[in-house]
Amino acid sequence: MNHLELRPPTMADVARLAGVSHQTVSRVLGDHPNVREETRARVLRAIEEMGYRRNSSARALATRRTRTLGVVAANTTLYGPASTLFALEDAARAAGYTVSTVSLHKLAKETLSEALDHLSEGGVEGVIALAPQRSAVEALAELRHPFPVVVVGTGSGAEIPSVNVDQQLGARLATGHLLAAGHRTVWHLAGPEDWQEAADRVTGWRTTLEAAGVEPPKPLRGDWSPLSGYRAGQELAGWVGRGLTAVFVANDQMALGVLRALREAGVRTPQDVAIVGFDDIPESEFFAPPLTTVRQDFATVGKHSIALLLDLIEGRAPSGTPGVAIEPHLVVRASTAPD
């Protein structure tokens, strides 16, 4: 309880109590095979009795392994990043690693550099960067760092190893769903230009329309926030009755704003305009109306990222198929089909 007690016991202390050498204690802790059962028991008892814990710094110094990974991210209060963070942490811990996180307000080159410095000082063996913006990856590619880095969510620009959800597929699912429901065309409210995900969703949307022989309308731009969706929604409302019957919105939060703007403009969803979002945040199911959206599997993203990073750290050939994006799924709700 009292952390100010004299200094914590060392391996030598345990060894003394157990009547063995410190090396034997180390062997027991390391699950070495060649330790007599009785000795092991004696050592374990001594460890228990003294409440001994290995000193991680000394261990790290001797082994040259800190068993710590770093994660750099921005916007960690948003559902997507928060979920990814969670999955990463889970996967890393399962692999016996500790995770140090640096949450930034913005992924500018300078802050990124400071973050890597901070993690580097902390002795991480590798870093996962949740860098959805292209500029962030570019900055990352220019930065020197003494450990491998894996990027999550910024396509495979090939400069840096990465793990991704197939955003284009997600957009194709969304757009295709609307076309299949009989809509002649599908409008798109996109995310910020600099975001890879936003770009990929635009591409997926555009190609789906083109494949169907439809000229894509000019996409609108938002910044992921409900407010920007609201503003775009007001603009979209003006096109109702002039060919706009379906909108694919690049994320659920903006879709929420769009829904509100349409409702205020007297436009009914889905009767007048069908809406599809992206992310499947927990709230989406209870929007007015419940939102059809695209769900990403963050747990898988986390597992793959950690696996890839560990491969790089160990110097093995990456075990997962490289460049394979994780498949998202369409979740159909009332915003595209009256129930």
Partner DNA sequence: CCATGAATTGTTAGCGCTCACAATGTGCCT
Partner DNA sequence: AGGCACATTGTGAGCGCTAACAATTCATGG
Q: Which residues bind DNA (CB under 7 A)?
A: 7-8, 10-12, 19-24, 26-27, 29-30, 33-36, 38-39, 54-55, 58-59, 61-64
CB of 199 or CB of 281, closer to a second copy: 281
CB of 7 or CB of 105, closer to DNA: 7
Rounded to whole angstroms, the Cα distance separating 339 from 336 reads: 9
Q: Which residues bind a second copy (CB under 8 A)?
A: 1, 3-4, 8, 51, 53-58, 60-61, 66-68, 76-77, 79, 82-83, 85-86, 89-90, 93, 98-103, 118-123, 144-148, 225-227, 229-230, 253, 256-257, 259-260, 263, 281-283, 285-288, 313, 315
Rounded to whole angstroms, the Cα distance separating 161 from 230 reads: 36
Residue 152 DSSP SS3: strand
DSSP 326: B
We find the least distance from the C-beta atom of residue 231 to a second copy, in angstroms, to be 11
Rounded to whole angstroms, the Cα distance separating 134 from 281 reads: 24
- Rg, Å, the chain Cα set: 26
DSSP 241: T
- Phi and psi of 90, rounded to 5°? -60, -50
Who's near 200: CB < 8 A, 6+ residues apart? 155, 167, 168, 171
Q: Centre a 10 Å sphere on the Cβ of residue 329 and count the other Cβ atoms it contains.
A: 13
CB of 62 or CB of 158, closer to DNA: 62
We find the least distance from the C-beta atom of residue 61 to a second copy, in angstroms, to be 4
We find the least distance from the C-beta atom of residue 41 to DNA, in angstroms, to be 10
CB of 122 or CB of 338, closer to DNA: 122
108 binds, among DNA, a second copy, none (CB under 5 to 8 A by kind): none
CB of 100 or CB of 185, closer to a second copy: 100
CB of 97 or CB of 230, closer to DNA: 97
24 binds, among DNA, a second copy, none (CB under 5 to 8 A by kind): DNA
We find the least distance from the C-beta atom of residue 123 to DNA, in angstroms, to be 11
Asked if the bond preceding 33 is cis, omega within 30° of 0, the reply is no
278 binds, among a second copy, DNA, none (CB under 5 to 8 A by kind): none
CB of 283 or CB of 327, closer to a second copy: 283
319 binds, among a second copy, DNA, none (CB under 5 to 8 A by kind): none
Q: What is the residue whose two structure tokens read 């991480």?
A: 124
118 binds, among a second copy, DNA, none (CB under 5 to 8 A by kind): a second copy
Structure tokens at 103: 């949450």
Residue 290 DSSP SS3: coil
The answer to whether the CB of 229 falls within 8 A of the CB of 256 is: yes
The answer to whether the CB of 321 falls within 8 A of the CB of 197 is: no
We find the least distance from the C-beta atom of residue 79 to a second copy, in angstroms, to be 6
Helical (H) or strand (E) element with 103: strand 98-104
